[in-house]
Amino acid sequence: MSSMVRFTLDGREASAPEGELLVHAAARHGVFIPTLCHDDKLDPYGGCRMCVVGVEGSPRPLPACATRVAEGMVVSTNSNVPAFRKTLTEMLLAEHLDPNPGGRPNELTDLAADLDAEAPFILPDAKRKEYEDRNRLMGYTPDACILCNRCVRYTQEVMQCSALSLEGRGPHARIVPTWERSWLDTECELCGGCLSVCPTGAIFEKFLEGTEQPERELVKTKTTCTFCGVGCQLDLNVDPETNRIVKVTSEPHYVSNEGNLCVKGRFAFNFVHHPDRLTKPMVRREDGELHETSWEDALQVAADGLNRVKAEHGPQAIGFLASARLTMEENFLIQKLARSVVGTNSIHSCEAT
Amino acid sequence: MDNLGRIRREIGPVTPELSDALADHMNIRRGEVHEVVSFYSFLEVPADAVRVCIGPVCDCLGAKDLLAREQENANGVPVLGVECLGHCDIAPVLMRGDVVEPDVTRRTNTGSSLGLEQADQTLAEYEARGGLAVLRNLPAKEKIVEELKASGLTGYGGAGFPTGLKWEAVAKEPAPRYVVVNADEGEPGTIKDRYVMELRPHLMLEGTLIAMDFAEATEGFIYLREEYATARARLEQALEELRAAGVLDGRSLELVIGAGAYICGEETAMLESMEGRRGMPRLKPPFPSQVGYLGRPTLINNVETLAHIPAILRDGGEAWPRVRLWSVTGAVTAPGCYEAPLDVTPRQLIDDYAGGATEEIGAVVPGGAASGILPPAALDVPLTRESLREWNAGPGSAALQVFPASYSPLRLLAETMRFFAEESCQKCTPCRIGNRGMHHLVEELANGEAAMTREQAEEWLDAMAATSICGLGQGAPFPMRNAFTHWPELFEPLGEPAIK
């Protein structure tokens, strides 16, 4: 464990593990420092400057998202820092033409509301070149982007892929899929991680389910992804009016996936509402047709069948086929059932095919 | 960067296909190459394109007409308006491919430190004037630091950090260390490094090799702006001569060629560029003397700074005459580059060195775009850091630009803010948007409109100066604030100044 250091935060004595980012140390002491370009998954960037704080001995305020606590540091978040914050917010608003393209939350407009900040004008060159993509899952509106570069850094640092680029310089700078291609023609796997880190919702889920409810109006239900054994934790976002899942999100503090998802976990949820999906246990009766029944009955029928085959042909006549979509624990139970209860070693999984 | 520059010169403008091919060949991500290619102004432009300088000196001498004429007679060759090409002494100027028009002239004076009055064509000529003597008989490290401190030499790129302190700091860091020469002269109006490299390339290289020996660095780099084709040829020739003479034995000293980005003159942006990334400044601290090229301690000095070092070590720091090279351009009879004392005044530079003003003077810029804009009342102020501080300005890169009274200060301000906006790397909010906002404000004022109140404008300038990552955004407010002070009538539509 790293050693603790003492520092001063707005005139109060405080302590933190040596080297902790100032933004975290302050939060633990109840001082919230707003950030836009910072993301705990990414290396410190210090671009948006929203989190600047006064540090004694430094001629200029320093970004709390990139400055680490040191012994004896004297930090101030009041003095002129709030004025800078408001001005920086005004600046960002001066080219924020489309604050809400896809219904995702917008941290910049939240901050503007908190600080009572308004753009004095819209910059004449604020309009950016638009981007249209034929992919059906993700959309991007450059006019909502604040160039915090979180998405690009996410693709480079977390996903290690080449999907998005920070292009150009000065007023012409914008973020765009590599060489403005369709995401389908880049290395992108459409995992949607870029949109999950976007603070303004400039990258968003295209609404497959025909609803345009803002994300904050949706009801979240936490569950485990059913697609593989990793066990990613995710939130099904349900539109309360239609009671249908309209998007899947995940939070950075969720264990095993830390808010990251793959294309299936994030976008392949529409099977849930498919009419062919079996939602009740079914048993094929004497008449050769499937009939709805209870779990007790269905399990009894299956057990009777397995016992009959075992009695007539021995345990080696039975094999078990597990699935990559089960969790590790479920796969363990299947092999336990096969080996200990039925007495066969014939177990297979679709992962091997 | 090297590979991209070669593609442009040998194959043609970098296209998405070429960019991808290079990425695949080098086994790096295609998107990362795309980011780099699009950052620089020239990689996607043919090598034979016509580049017309629209920097402030060229602008006041008719660059916009020149640009329009060239565009009319283009014959399919791309014609671009570009930021300062570093030839303000022959403004308005353009480059056809690598060739500068009109013909290059170099007006200078006899200088006791740099001796630019006589060009060195070969290494033999340089050695005949006593060249390499200091390098071959280098004093101990402590002595070098002592002499540098005694000389009072500061970085002549613009930031003005004491050279002796910088060298001392690097020497305390663990090896391996690197030496980098900042030859990315891009500050509008500044032509001095080009003069040094074109006239006395061996002198600068001797200064560099002294720095490398001092830092015990076996690898050194010269980051040269792409537009300086003549300087590149002179340096290549001089390096070849030094190599043939065995002076470079055991060392590697290489040229790295930029691709058109003012911000790469900022030392950490330069390091990023050298490492093959977009030239976006790093957060400081740590400083390059601690964490520089490839994460190692790196000594970065400007061309002119290094060129003074042989004289300082030869004659001793105390005896060194405390001079620097002043680029004097604009409305003067003999624009050029003159060695003069640090406390010279604008009037002395104009009258005693540059042959006098050609027109009534309306404004002067003392040292590059961010150094400030001063009224004629400041013509007798010594151009030292201390005395200019009272004028809320600085000597910067010692580029005195003389603007005639017929050239409106508002136009000068608009061009200056447009330049900063164009050249902002985009990384930080205050620089990326603040400069565009200030440009918009000045353009609107020219139409008699107030885009924001004076109080709001001052809040924006405060945020830019305090919260920008690097000197570009931090320095950009100076000319605006100078104009508020010296030409208040231009800003009346904005209302009352903020009460502080």
Give the closest-approach CA distance of A170 to chain B in angstroms.
5
Judge whether residue B28 has pLDDT over 70.
yes
Q: Which amino acid is present at B9?
A: R
Residue A266 lies in a domain: yes
d(CA B129, CA B123): 10
Tokens of B294: 């490839």
Chain A residues near residue B474 by CB distance under 8 angstroms: 60
Question: Which pLDDT score is estimated for A212?
Answer: 72
CA-CA distance, A197 to A125, in Å (whole number)? Answer: 26
Give the SS3 label for residue B54: coil
- Tell the burial category of A298 from Cβ atoms under 10 Å away from its Cβ (0-12, 13-18, 19+): middle
Q: How many separate domains does chain A show? A: 4
Q: Which residues in chain B touch residue A165, judged by CB atoms under 8 angstroms apart?
A: 31-32, 34-35, 38
**A109 within domain boundaries:** no
Same domain, A143 and A162: yes
- Count the neighbouring beta carbons within 10 Å of the beta carbon of residue A223: 12
Contact indicator for A39, A154 with CB cutoff of 8 Å: yes
Residue B326 corresponds to which amino acid? Answer: W
Kindly list the domain boundaries of chain B, sorted by start residue: 2-101, 123-315, 323-404, 409-494
- SS3 of chain B: helix, strand, coil, percent, to 5: 45, 15, 40
Question: What is the phi/psi pair of residue A158, to 5°?
Answer: -100, -55
Helix (H, G, I), strand (E, B) or coil at B360: coil
Question: Which of A52, A87, A107 to probe the B interface (max B CBs under 10 A)?
Answer: A87
pLDDT of residue A210: 59
Contact B467 A49 (CB under 8 A): yes
Longest dimension (CA), chain B: 67
Q: What kind of fold does domain B323-404 have according to CATH?
A: Ubiquitin-like (UB roll) (3.10.20)
List Cβ neighbours of B399 (8 Å cut-off, separation of 6 or more). Answer: B88, B187, B188, B189, B190, B191, B192, B326, B327, B329, B365, B366, B367, B368, B371
- In this structure, what CATH number is given to the domain that contains residue A272? 2.20.25.90
Q: What is the CATH classification number for the domain harbouring A15?
A: 3.10.20.740
Give me the residue from A91, A163, A164 closest to B437, CB to CB: A91
Three-state DSSP class for B164? helix
A201 and A211 belong to one structural domain: no
DSSP character at residue B324: E
Instruction: Flag whether residue B186 sits within 8 Å of chain A, measured between CB atoms.
Output: no
Please report which confidence band the pLDDT of residue B467 belongs to, taking 50, 70 and 90 as the band edges. Answer: very high
In a domain, A50, yes or no: yes
Q: Are B151 and B192 in contact (CB under 8 A)?
A: no
What's the length of chain B? 500
Asked if residue A89 belongs to a domain, the reply is no
CA–CA distance, A83 with A65 (Å, rounded to integer) = 18
Identify whether the C-beta of residue B337 lies closer than 8 Å to the C-beta of residue B89.
yes
Query: Within this chain, do residues A34 and A71 fall inside the same structural domain, yes or no?
Result: yes
Best mutation target among B83, B161, B436 (most A Cβ atoms within 10 Å) is: B436
Q: Answer whether A256 touches B (CB < 8 Å).
A: no
pLDDT in tens, chain A (353 residues): 569 999 999 999 999 999 999 999 999 999 999 999 999 999 999 999 999 999 999 999 999 999 999 999 999 998 889 999 999 999 999 999 999 888 899 999 999 999 999 999 999 999 999 999 999 999 999 999 999 999 999 999 999 998 999 999 999 999 999 999 999 999 999 999 999 999 999 999 987 655 678 889 999 999 999 888 888 999 999 999 889 999 999 999 998 899 999 999 999 998 999 999 999 999 999 999 999 999 999 999 999 999 999 999 999 999 999 988 888 889 999 999 999 999 999 999 887 76
Cα A160 to Cα A151, A152, A193, B29, distances in angstroms: 12, 10, 12, 9
The amino acid at A279: T
Which pLDDT score is estimated for A10? 96
Interface mutation vs chain A, best among B34, B42, B454, most A CBs within 10 Å: B34
Is there a contact between A331 and A322 (Cβ–Cβ < 8 Å)?
yes
Shortest CA distance from B469: residue in chain A = A47
Closest CA to A236 of A275, A272, A210, A201: A272
Among the three residues A229, A253, A277, which one is the final residue of a domain in this structure?
A: A277
CB contact under 8 A, A167 and B38: yes
* Token representation of residue A201: 């919702």
Give the CATH number of domain B123-315.
3.40.50.11540
Output the CA angle B364-B368-B373, nearest 5 degrees: 35
Q: A86 in a domain, yes or no?
A: no
**Burial B230-248, CB ≥16 within 10 A → b, else e:** ebbebbeebbebbeeeebb
Measured between beta carbons, which residues in chain A are less than 8 angstroms from residue B283?
Answer: 44, 46, 63, 66
Residues of chain B positioned with their CB less than 8 A from the CB of A61: 466-467
Q: Which domain holds residue A333?
A: 282-352
Residue B203, pLDDT score: 98
User: What does B95-160 look like in DSSP terms, one character per residue?
Assistant: EETTEEES---------TTT-TTS---SHHHHHHTTTTHHHHTPPPHHHHHHHHHHHT-B-TTTT-
C-beta of residue A220 within 8 angstroms of C-beta of residue A236: yes
B150: buried, middle or exposed (CB in 10 Å: 19+, 13-18, 0-12)?
middle
Enumerate the residues of chain B whose CB falls inside 8 A of the CB of residue A152.
31, 35
Residue B46, exposed/middle/buried by CB under 10 A (0-12, 13-18, 19+)? middle
What pLDDT is stored for residue A209 in this prediction?
A: 58
- Judged against a pLDDT cut of 60, whether residue B173 lies above it is answered with yes
CA A31-A36-A37 angle, to 5 degrees, is 120
Residue of A nearest to B285 (CA): A67
Pair B413, B480: CB distance under 8 Å = yes
Neighbours of B130 (CB within 10 A): 12
CA B165 from centroid of its chain's CA atoms: 22
Q: Which residue in the block uniquely carries the two structure tokens 């010296």?
A: B486
Confidence of residue B1 (pLDDT cuts 50, 70, 90): confident
In a shared domain, residues A250 and A293: no
- How far away is chain A from the Cα of B17, in angstroms, using its nearest Cα? 10
The per-residue pLDDT for range B309-340, each reduced to its tens digit, is: 999 999 999 999 999 999 999 999 999 999 99
* Nearest-10 Cα torsion for B449, B455, B458, B464: -90
Smallest Cβ–Cβ distance between B466 and the set A61, A168, A179 belongs to: A61
Pairing between strand A174-177 and A203-205?
Answer: unpaired
Contact flag B422-A147 (C-beta cutoff 8 Å): no
Q: So what's the pLDDT on residue A328? A: 83
Whether the CB-CB separation of B208 and B305 falls below 8 Å is answered with: no
Q: Quick check: B297 and B290 in contact, CB under 8 A? A: yes
Which of A256, A277, A298 is at the close of a domain? A277
The phi and psi torsions of A92 (rounded to 5 degrees) equal -65, -35
So what's the ipTM on this one?
Answer: 0.94
CATH match for B409-494 among 1.20.1440.230, 1.10.357.10, 2.130.10.10, 3.40.50.300 = 1.20.1440.230
Work out the mean pLDDT of chain B and round it to a whole number. Answer: 96
Q: Pick the closest to residue A65 from A106, A96, A34, A91 (CA basis).
A: A34
A151, A176, A205 — which closes off a domain? A205
Cα B31 from Cα A164, distance rounded (Å): 6
Strand, helix or coil for residue A83: helix
Q: Show residues of chain B in contact with A161, CB under 8 Å.
A: 29
Answer yes or no: are the C-beta atoms of B454 and B347 closer than 8 Å: no
Residue A14, strand partner residues: A7
| Judgement on whether residues A198 and A221 belong to the same structural domain of the protein | no
Q: What is the pLDDT of residue A228?
A: 86
Residue B211 to residues B60, B167, B478, Cα–Cα distance (Å): 39, 8, 33
At A199, which CATH number?
3.30.70.20
Express as a percent the part of chain B with pLDDT over 70.
Answer: 100
- Tell me the C-alpha to C-alpha distance, in Å, between residue B201 and each of B11, B194, B339: 30, 10, 17
User: What whole-number distance in Å separates Cα of residue B33 and Cα of residue A178?
Assistant: 9
Do residues A125 and A198 share a domain?
yes
From CA B56, how far away is CA B369, in angstroms rounded? 9
Please answer whether residues B239 and B270 qualify as being in contact, where contact means their C-beta atoms are separated by less than 8 angstroms: no
How many degrees, rounded to 5, is the angle at CA B404 between CA B398 and CA B408? 105
Cα–Cα distance, B156 to B405 (Å, whole number): 29
For residues A13 and A69, membership in a common domain is answered with: yes
Q: Does residue A345 form part of some domain?
A: yes
Q: What percentage of residues in chain B have a pLDDT greater than 90?
A: 97
Nearest by CB to A170, from B421, B451, B467: name it: B421
Q: What is the mean pLDDT of residues B206-213?
A: 98
Q: To the nearest 10°, the Cα dihedral for B26, B27, B33, B34?
A: 130
CB distance from A63 to chain B under 8 Å? yes
- What CA–CA distance (Å, rounded) separates B209 from A135? 56
Residues of B in contact with A35 (CB under 8 A): none
Q: Which amino acid is at B465?
A: A
Contact residues on chain A for B466, CB-CB shorter than 8 A? 52, 60-61, 80, 84
d(Cα B203, Cα B136) in Å, to the nearest integer?
Answer: 13
In angstroms, what CA-CA distances link B100 with A7, A270, B88, B97, B227? Answer: 58, 64, 12, 8, 9
Candidates A33, A43, A49, A155, partner chain B, best to mutate (most B CBs within 10 A): A49
Provide the shortest C-alpha distance from residue B315 to chain A (in Å).
Answer: 36
CATH number of this structure's domain B2-101, picked from the four choices 1.10.10, 3.30.70, 3.40.50, 3.40.30? 3.40.30
Shared domain for A200 and A228, answered yes or no, is no
